[in-house]
Amino acid sequence: MVLTTKAATRRVACAVIGLLWLVACTPAPQQLSLQVLADNQQQVSGQHVITEGVVRGFDDPEHYWLEDSAMNRVAVHPQYLLADKVGERVQVRGQFHADRERGRWIDARELTVLESD
């Protein structure tokens, strides 16, 4: 199939408009504490969030989570993002999930190590 320059330009323009629409319609993440996530997990599940806490971990089976001073916890996936940050305070941006069987977790899109208090 050979496209004319006008048809090719139109297809590229439609693709760009579609991509811009998708980006514009993605909701901005809410900055929520681990306490709020724990207390409102079903209402917040599926939403994009920003939260922070101290990275904690356990060896057998190996897993990692964020924790606050009140022991509110949420796992972060993929786990390897936290493996070398145990004891550090981090901020995570991603999609929060809550499930009765699997618990609470965030599919992380971004992780930032924060300054120590």
User: Taking the domains of the chain in order of start, what are their residue ranges?
Assistant: 30-113
DSSP 87: T
**pLDDT single digits (tens) 33-86:** 999 999 999 999 999 999 999 999 998 888 899 999 999 999 999 999 999 999
CA nearest 93: which of 72, 114, 70?
114
3-state secondary structure of 7: helix
- Tell me the whole-structure pTM to 2 decimals: 0.75
Domain 30-113 is of which CATH architecture? Beta Barrel (2.40)
Question: Residue 18: which residues within 8 A CB-CB, separation 6 or more?
Answer: none
